[in-house]
Amino acid sequence: GTTSADWQYVRMTENHDSNAPITDVTSPEFRCYELDMTATPGTTSTATVSAGSTVGFKGECRLYSTCKQDLYIDVMMSQASPAANSPEAATGQTWFKIYQQSPTFESGQLVFPSESQQEFTFTLPASLPTGQYLMRAEQIALHVASTYGGAQFYIGCAQLNVVNGGSGTPGPLVSIPGVYTGVCISSGFRFALQVLTTRGSHSTSPAS
């Protein structure tokens, strides 16, 4: 595959020169965490990709080993109206999940597949309709998630023009912000990332 230049197709984020996360899941910035919510979309190029093709994201350093630890990763997409480079794109209940890396339990311990990864790839759904989209990668660091608002989110939104699409109907749909309630801790070691939707939900809640 071909690796694009930094910020060529991904909207430059507010933390582009630091490792500062966003923690307020209710903020409008939680959608894409752009450097400038109005100007950044228009200065970012839009990549043309085929439905069913392999795409991915690459970070500045390896996850967990030299950056943050205990990372849950997911990728969501939203049809972009009027266009992927529009500041108004992907507002409202338009987002749907296409990929996730969840932790597993092995020998009584949590194991995060993202450990030591610098990049990750995944396949776009072949049934994805042709059109323009935002594709949002989200890394959730849980190492200080001991209270509500403790989870640290690292976000990036790519602008895509999907061609050779299918006739699928993406869903269930959620809003960003609005998708998360936060992080809770109970007895022992337990965390829960709860998603509020009207037509579906998912949660990651390992406990011991």
Q: What is the pLDDT along the chain (208 residues), one digit of tens a residue?
A: 688 899 999 999 999 888 889 988 889 999 999 999 999 999 999 999 999 999 998 876 544 434 545 577 889 999 999 999 999 999 999 999 999 887 777 777 667 666 666 778 899 999 999 999 999 999 888 776 667 777 788 999 999 999 999 999 999 999 999 888 654 433 332 344 433 222 233 333 222 2
Measured in residues, the chain has a length of: 208
- The answer to whether residue 182 sits within a structural domain is no
* Three-class DSSP labels, 29-64: HHCCCECCCCCCHHHCCCEEEECCCEEEEECCCCCC
- The answer to whether residue 64 sits within a structural domain is yes
Q: What is the CATH number of the domain that holds 51?
A: 2.70.50.70
- The answer to whether residue 110 sits within a structural domain is yes
Distance CA 208, CA 198 (A): 30
What token pair was written down for 64? Answer: 């967990």
- The answer to whether residue 98 sits within a structural domain is yes
Overall number of domains in the chain = 1
How many helices (H) and strands (E) are present in the chain, helices listed first? 0, 13
Distance CA 15, CA 23 (A): 12
What token pair was written down for 188? Answer: 């022992």
The pair phi, psi for residue 184, each rounded to 5°, is -125, 150
- The answer to whether residue 195 sits within a structural domain is no
- The answer to whether residue 21 sits within a structural domain is no
- The answer to whether residue 15 sits within a structural domain is no
- The answer to whether residue 93 sits within a structural domain is yes
Which residue range is the domain that position 65 belongs to? Answer: 28-173
